[in-house]
A and B are shown apart, each in its own frame.
Chain A
Amino acid sequence: MRLPLPARLLPAAIALACCVSAQISDPAAPGPMPVANTFYRFNRVQVPAIPYPVDIWGTVWHPDGMAGGPYPLLIFIHGNHGICREPGTMRDFGTTLTPPYCPSNFEQTPNHLGYDYIAARLAGYGFVVVSINANAINVRANGNPERGRLVQEHLRYWALWNSSEGGFPFGRRFTGRVNLQNVGLMGHSRGGEGVRAAYNFNRQEGSQFGIRAVLEIGPVDFGRIPTITTPNPIFNVDDVNFSVLLPACDGDVADNQGMRIYDRARVLRENQLLSPKSQIYLLGANHNFFNAEWLPEDPNFQCIDFPIITDRPQQEQIGMVYTMGFFRTYIGGEDFRYLFHGDGRPPQSIRVPVAQSYTESPNDILLVDDFSVVKSPDENLAGGSNTSNNLEIKTCSGTTCNEPPPAGWVHDASTFAAKIGWPGQGTGTPNLIMRLAQEGMSRDVSRFALLGIRVAAQFDPRNPNTPASQNFSVRLIDSAGVVSNSIAVGELRPIPYPTGAFFRRSVLRTIRIPLADFRGADRARIAAVEFVFDKNREGAIFLTDVHFSPR
């Protein structure tokens, strides 16, 4: 089989992926405020719904002096890792003691300090950032609901410290200075599912705290067994701003199961906070380097076709840019959305290709087709027909999307896609016409600003050898039959090729096209979206989430 990405072409891949539009500002620059840090620790506390004692232990970065405010509160939590460290090394081990503490010839691994490099910078922009230690939950099976309960308990302590009475050990230092209705959570690895649990427990209990943004880095998704089609609602993220960073060279959560979280969130209707969802797939990034206290997860591990990051500062820069950009946007009210919808180029400090998936709140978009209707691919979600010429097309989800080994499909079982190959058995230019309504009808899409799709190349010899160089066109047709100009999708953003850790996987990315770029067709009377496979003689892609977006 012809490989889609010879290693010798990596520079071309990087160039193509990195440099397609204008440079925009970097959210990770040092902030304007001087910062300070402190910590708190209470040993062996009984916390509701955790069946064993845990430490309430956190490090706090905040604006020096805490004048002004109230400042938003961010809580970070690490994942499962050794908790006992050989003194003078970074070698960490699980413990034999229950509850899990360390023998006297070890010291406790400061897992929570591994995000100081982000927390200190964020404090400079007026955030109170708490990174909590969850060692007492580590080195045992799962524990993610307990991680959520631990985050809740820390929030209750912060309610005390923010109250007029204050409390030990801070007295009234934080009284009235912390905005507990503007809270963001970040969890890494198992901590990702932990913060998702915290968010859901909080809203199940009446939303005492205003958790408005959840960010996960390389998370697990234990609550969703891939073969079960009904997700556990404790682990969903509707009604909250959400993003997940997926290190493509993750040598621990090697199947990038965190992508299932975005897959589910992208279609959940929202009742409280209409909020965007995004997924950031980072080529080269590994699992452990996001935590400065963790050594590489697997020194013998290599990613397919793309070099794993071995330079810790390079990956920490990625962690800073996306974590700071996320919270400065969705908690701080600044605008770094370009990092998440991917319409712009990442800042220069990001030196690896990045592929985003993005949607505005599912309430705000017009989803034309995600290939989930029973009669798909012949009928679409908007109620119109899909017709094709000289094309192979079939709908797939879960294992039916699986490509030939060693490629795999790891999107959530709820995600459907069209598996498209061309040319088919017919003649003429291959195309797919997706009608937005029944024959003879049209839709007014003038209130929308963009046409978006999610797309990825299959692991298939019909795709070009040059990486990320598959391409095709899209155009609009109005009810009078006027056809707009064609936009070459692959020239806007690279169509991702199957790569990743351990096995090849096609990871869908969102590509959005300004409707203003489609000239000629009347946007008040759009009858169809047409995909024309005219750029390469043959090819094979996955296509889904064809939608119109207001921004």
Chain B
Amino acid sequence: MKRRSFLTFAAVLAGALPAFSRFKGARYKARRAGRTQSTDDRTAAAEVLEFQVTADEPFPVRALDPVLHVGEYEVRDYRYGNMENTLLIFTCTESSKLEENAPVWLQYENDTRTRTDLPAFRRAQVE
């Protein structure tokens, strides 16, 4: 009986709330967003990249953080870009560590259910 009531409940809510799974329609664009300040003569200013990740449904606010993976590199600094929460903006201050053609995916920490694969990273496409 409980199983049935859960399914009914889930069906009612499914249209209204984001589910923790892959995000439909997810895509991104990368753009240059300035340079970091150099702290001394030996440290060169680095290029800052912003990744704007968009989906057709909201990215939920939850206990686990969304992380943008660019190959081995994890971009963890993020903010919401609209009040519908369909846009996440990740800021990378170590863009030199990003490898050309690295696979890109979004995932909430270690919750692999949410892994959403995106096109590979290509510097030529950075706006």
Give the B-binding residues of A (Cβ under 8 A). Answer: 7, 79-84, 91-96, 98, 103, 106, 138-142, 189-190, 218, 220, 251-255, 287, 295-302, 307-308, 310, 502
Contact = CB atoms under 8 A, between A and B. Distances in A.
Given A96-B79, A255-B110, A308-B6, A295 B17 contact: yes
Interface stretch (B7-15, B38-46, B94-102): B7-15
Contacts of A98: 79
A210 B124 CA distance: 58
Summarize B's interface: helix, strand, loop or mixed: loop
A254 B10 contact: no
Given A96-B79, A300-B19, A142 B65 contact: yes
Contacts of A79: 63
B82 interface: yes
B79 A299 contact: no
B76 interface: yes
B16 to A, nearest CB: 7
B113 A502 contact: yes
Interface in B72-87: 76-85
Summarize A's interface: helix, strand, loop or mixed: loop
Contacts of A81: 61-62
Given A91-B17, A93-B85, A254-B20, 6 more contacts: A95-B83, A103-B83, A252-B20, A252-B62, A295-B17, A298-B20
A94 B86 CA distance: 10
B13 A141 contact: no
B6 A307 contact: yes
A310 B61 contact: no
Contacts of B2: 307, 310
A244 to B, nearest CB: 14
Contacts of A502: 111, 113
Interface string B18-42: 0111000000000000000000000
Contacts of B58: 93
For chain B, which range describes its interface: under 10, 10 to 19, 20 to 34, or 35 or more residues?
20 to 34
12 contacts: A7-B3, A81-B62, A91-B17, A140-B78, A141-B76, A190-B63, A295-B17, A296-B17, A299-B13, A300-B20, A308-B6, A310-B9
A399 to B, nearest CB: 13
A79 B13 CA distance: 22
A167 to B, nearest CB: 34
A80 B62 CA distance: 6
A139 B19 contact: no
A307 B14 contact: no
B125 interface: no
A375 B121 CA distance: 48
B113 A254 contact: yes
A543 to B, nearest CB: 27
Contact of B13 (A94, A142, A296): A296
A84 B83 contact: yes
Nearest to B15: A299
B63 A189 contact: yes
Contacts of B65: 141-142
Nearest to B1: A307
B61 A93 contact: yes
B80 A252 contact: no
Interface centre among A79, A218, A299 (most CB of B within 10 A): A299
A141 B78 CA distance: 7
A299 B16 CA distance: 9
Contact of A299 (B9, B77, B80, B81): B9
A411 to B, nearest CB: 15
Interface of B: 2-3, 5-6, 9-10, 13-14, 16-17, 19-21, 58, 60-65, 76-85, 110-111, 113
Contacts of B81: 96
Contacts of A254: 20, 111, 113
A295 B77 CA distance: 26
A299 B61 contact: no
Contacts of B13: 295-296, 299
A107 to B, nearest CB: 13
Contacts of A296: 9, 13, 17
A79 B79 CA distance: 17
B80 A139 contact: yes
B61 A92 contact: yes
Interface centre among B14, B20, B58 (most CB of A within 10 A): B20
A161 B9 CA distance: 46
Interface centre among B5, B10, B77 (most CB of A within 10 A): B10
Contact of B62 (A91, A140, A297): A297
Contacts of B17: 91, 295-296, 299
Contacts of A298: 19-20
A297 to B, nearest CB: 7
Task: List the 3 closest A-B pairs by CB distance, nearest first.
Answer: A299-B13, A300-B19, A94-B80
Contact of B20 (A106, A189, A297, A310): A297
Contacts of A92: 61
Nearest to A250: B63
B9 to A, nearest CB: 5
A82 B61 contact: yes
A106 B80 CA distance: 16
Given A93-B84, A93-B85, A253 B19 contact: no
A297 B108 CA distance: 14
Given A81-B61, A140-B79, A251 B5 contact: no
Given A93-B61, A189-B63, A301 B83 contact: no
A300 B5 CA distance: 13
A505 B98 CA distance: 35
A106 B81 CA distance: 16
Given A93-B83, A139-B80, A141-B77, A300 B61 contact: no
Contact of B61 (A139, A142, A253): A139
A120 B51 CA distance: 45
Contacts of B9: 296, 299, 310
A220 B79 contact: no
A220 B83 contact: no
